[in-house]
Amino acid sequence: MSLKTNKSRIVDIEGGDYDNPNTIKDEQEDKLQEQQTKLQKQQTELRGCTIEGNWKEVERLYNLDVNFSTMNINKSIGTALHMAVNEGNESVVRSLVGSILFHRNVVAFEMKNGKGDTPLHLAASRGFQEICECIIGKNYERKDLIDIDNNNKETPFFLASLFCQKETFLYLLPFVSYSEYLFRSNGDSILHCAILGEYFDLALKIIQTFPKLGGITNNEGYTPLKLLATRPSAFESGCKMTWWKKILYHYISVENLNIEEVIKCYNMKQDQENLHLSCPKNYETCGFFLRKCQLGIAKLPIAAHIRHVAASNNKVKEQKVLQDQQPHINISMSYDNEENKQKVLSDQQQISISMSSDCELLPENYATCLWFLKFAYIYILGLFGVGMYVSQIPN
């Protein structure tokens, strides 16, 4: 009997008795503690690299283990992908997205930060269209991410409307239909938010796409039209302007808004590509200012006059070349050639008359200084915030 009992028990010299349930429980607890310790070390390493901006090490960790893509840096920030998107670091985002897709861990795109925002929420709210395209995919294979909402029931499309990010708004628009995703928890629709922020061009596009939103009330009982009536700055009668602002108001030319033309302007990326090629991002404002000055100078009368004079000089040079090639003009020139010659001479006389009259009206150097002072005055007003105020004044 004792022999059978000894055979039925499995005894390990080093590990002890495996039939004892306490031993098995202790081993499971040890393994769990080791896993937790390892996880804490990984989180500490990932947190340090992300906060320090050591993105190469973060990319290495993402490639090393699939679990890094779902680790939160902290409760408020979210994952490392959240932080990379928030900084607008497109190259890092593409690398991290590539690692996530390589490990087939699509759940990482659905991770939320403290506000419930996914990486797509952050990209849409900041206006990073290319990052949105990277997260959703070239073939829109992850377009379901657009339907995920945050703690305030706001989708990425809603945040693009809320912060007037027109490029991301137009990019996400084809994937959105009239549904509850156009509203947030307090009942405000994207049209309410556009009117509240005085983004009237965006509001026109919204009501053109979703006409039913015009009659929807929020939890406070405000329709979009009633909300517009509470914005006195949207109307001339509700704006109290000083004398110099009134002068500027009457000299501002505002045309009727054409939604289709606005959309075409927002879809054009030529200016952005030129900015990235010519100067760093922190110089974009200076580059924009210089391009506007260049366009403004090209439209000045003095610039048009210079181009006209240059064209006339080219014509005179061409005529001289023709005369040099034919020094002896045949006396029996046809009547048509005589008419052409007289026409050229009369044109040259008119050009010289116009040149002299323009010069008598205002010297060229004075005109250049005058237009320079005018543009400098306008842009100085813009730097002090007057331009933002004037841009909100209605026609």
pLDDT at 385: 59
Instruction: For residues 373-385, give the mean pLDDT.
Output: 68
Tokens read off for 153: 């029931």
Q: Which domains does the chain have, with CATH numbers?
A: 27-185 (1.25.40.20)
pLDDT at 332 over 50: no
For the cut 50, the answer to whether the pLDDT of residue 242 exceeds it is: yes
Helix crossing, 55-64 with 90-102: angle to 10°? Answer: 10
160 and 131 in contact (C-beta within 8 Å)? Answer: no
pLDDT at residue number 29: 74
Tokens matching residue 328: 């002896």
Residue 37 binned pLDDT confidence (cut-offs 50, 70, 90): confident
**Residue 326 C-beta-side C-alpha neighbours within 13 Å:** 8
In tens, the pLDDT along 54-84 reads: 999 999 999 988 889 999 988 888 999 999 9
Is residue 142 within 8 A of residue 107, CB to CB? The reply is no
Q: Which two tokens stand for residue 287?
A: 């580059």
pLDDT bucket at 230, cuts 50 / 70 / 90: confident
Contact 235, 200 (CB under 8 A): no
Beta bridge pairs of residue 189: 183
Of 298, 195, 208, nearest to 262 (Cα)?
208
Task: Give the strand pairing for 11-12 and 72-74.
Answer: unpaired
Q: What letter does residue 337 receive in the DSSP assignment?
A: H
For the residues of 126-160, what is the DSSP string, one character each?
HT-HHHHHHHH-TT-TTGGGGG---TTS--HHHHH
Please state, in angstroms and rounded to a whole number, the distance separating the CA atoms of residues 185 and 201.
Answer: 25
Position 240 pLDDT exceeds 70: yes
8-state DSSP, 110? G
Percent of the chain with pLDDT over 70: 58
Unique residue bearing structure tokens 């408020």 = 76
| CA 125 – CA 160 distance, rounded (Å) | 5
- Crossing angle (nearest 10°) for helices 129-136 and 119-126: 150
Q: Is the pLDDT of residue 172 over 60?
A: yes
pLDDT at 107 over 70: yes
CB-side neighbour CA atoms (13 Å) of 64 = 10
Quote the tokens at residue 90.
């497109």
Distance CA 117, CA 110 (A): 9
Q: What is the dihedral of CA 94, 96, 98, 101, to 10 degrees?
A: -130
**What confidence score (pLDDT) does residue 390 get?**
44
Cα–Cα distance for residue pair 293/307, rounded to 1 Å: 18
Q: What does the pLDDT read at residue 315?
A: 66
Q: What confidence category does residue 248 fall into, taking pLDDT thresholds of 50, 70 and 90? A: confident
Nearest to 129 by CA among 94, 100, 169: 169
Please give the pLDDT value at position 147. 92
pLDDT at 119: 96
Among 63-72, 90-99, 325-334, name the one with the lowest average pLDDT: 325-334
Give 373 or 195, the one with higher predicted confidence: 195
DSSP conformation class of 14: T
What pLDDT is recorded for position 13? 41
Residue 238 pLDDT > 80: no
Q: What is the mean pLDDT of residues 179-208?
A: 90
What digits encode the pLDDT tens for the residues 282-299? 566 676 667 767 766 666
Label residue 318 by pLDDT band (50, 70, 90).
low
**How many CA atoms within 13 Å lie on the side-chain side of 292?**
11
Token pair for residue 310? 């240059």
- C-alpha–C-alpha distance, residues 118 and 109, integer Å: 7
Average pLDDT of the chain is 75
